[in-house]
Amino acid sequence: MTKKLEYHLLGNHLLENGFSLLFGAIFFQDEKLNRLTRKILKSELEEQVLEDGAHFELSPMYHLILLQRALDGYNLLINNKHELQVVEEQLKEAIQEMVNWLHTIMFSNGDIPMLNNSTGGQALEPKVILNYAEQLGFLPEKVHLKESGFRKFVAGNFEVVADIGQVGPTYQPAHAHSDTLSFVLYHQGKPVIVDRGISTYEKNQIREDERGTASHNTVMINSKEQTDVWGGFRVGRRAKPFILEESELMLMASHTGYDRMGIGHIREWQVQENKIQIIDRIEGDKAEGLAFLHLHPDIEPEQTEEGIFRLNNHILSFDNFKYVRKEKYAFCLGFNKKVIAYKIRIEFKGVLKTTIKE
């Protein structure tokens, strides 16, 4: 391990190396391993845990995995003799921040939003992680989401997580997707509009599609990607989001993904107790937008009239569109596990208004 530290990959790989070294240092009571543990965990925890508590790769799945590693390391330290007091204190602080972020981003039924490189079956359930943390003395508190670029709105029976985050980290964006201004929506603790997740890490067309703009609940303009994702884990030109206006139940944001075409996209979320309204504005000549909404596999949309769908207990409607149709897509349950679900595809120019109401 000491000769194969993953400095060439950095990110979660190097942090995982640090946790492995921590176990070796405690087991062997070895000073060389102590020094390496201090060096890696000190720098990487400072770098990788953002101010609001999110892991900086902005994948809720990896956040769970690394929080479990941190809890295991802390559990080891408080139950054994060691000379790593500085690491113990730093872990204690980082864990509390990560617990708070998880508690805040998590939906009321215990799900996490499957944003960026996230999928099922790779991490313990969030409630299990939070229970483990509580046993070690970490009680969750709600925090203001900021540095991670996620926002959460709760009103009535609706819960919405919006993604206005940067591609991150800038020097290692392997887990980033082209999903600026995407969102996930739950109602009464059940998923309605979802991120499709991922099913592979192979460098193939499936991987490219699952990272692409059209696989997220956002807007693609003139069939161009917001952010250039390629090579399985690479990112080229990237959209940079920015907030225009924000309050407790409203968010308006834009991004630079189409600046090179002289086109802008502004999205506004308005969250009320009995409905959610999303307003998309496209500014620029010859700009044609495609909006996508990916529905959970349990929901089969029934079109009642043009631009209006019944989604089990909800009504989904659109105003100012060129056409709307439902299509099938592959919802990812885990690696190499997919089921068929429905998405709504909307073509529009100018302004599109989307309403989901009870």
134-176: pLDDT as tens digits: 999 999 999 999 999 999 999 999 999 999 999 999 999 999 9
Is 66 inside any structural domain? yes
Is 73 inside any structural domain? yes
Is the pLDDT at 239 greater than 90, yes or no? yes
286-333: pLDDT as tens digits: 999 999 999 999 999 999 999 999 998 899 999 999 999 999 999 999
Quote the percentage of the chain above a pLDDT of 70: 100
Domain boundary among 114, 139, 164: 139
What is the mean pLDDT of the segment spanning 76-102? 98
What is the per-residue pLDDT for 88? Answer: 98
119-143: pLDDT as tens digits: 999 999 999 999 999 999 999 999 9
15-29: pLDDT as tens digits: 999 999 999 999 999
- Same domain for 110 and 189, yes or no, is no
Quote the percentage of the chain above a pLDDT of 90: 98
Domain boundary among 139, 162, 197: 139
Q: How confident is the model at residue 183 (pLDDT cuts 50, 70, 90)?
A: very high
What is the per-residue pLDDT for 17? Answer: 97
Is 233 inside any structural domain? yes
Q: How confident is the model at residue 269 (pLDDT cuts 50, 70, 90)?
A: very high
Q: What is the mean pLDDT of the chain?
A: 97
What is the per-residue pLDDT for 4? Answer: 94
For residue 290, give every residue at least 6 positions away whose Cβ sits within 8 Å of its Cβ, in sequence order, or none: 214, 219, 220, 221, 223, 345, 346, 347
What is the per-residue pLDDT for 96? Answer: 98
- Alpha-carbon distance 105 to 97, whole Å? 12
CATH classification at residue 110: 1.50.10.100
- Alpha-carbon distance 81 to 190, whole Å? 46
Is the pLDDT at 1 greater than 90, yes or no? no
Domain boundary among 118, 139, 160: 139
Structural domain span for residue 262: 149-358
Is 144 inside any structural domain? no
Tally of domains within the chain: 2
Phi, psi of 133 (to 5 degrees): -60, -40
What is the per-residue pLDDT for 313? Answer: 87
- The residue ranges of DSSP E strands in 119-174, in sequence order, are 150-155, 158-163
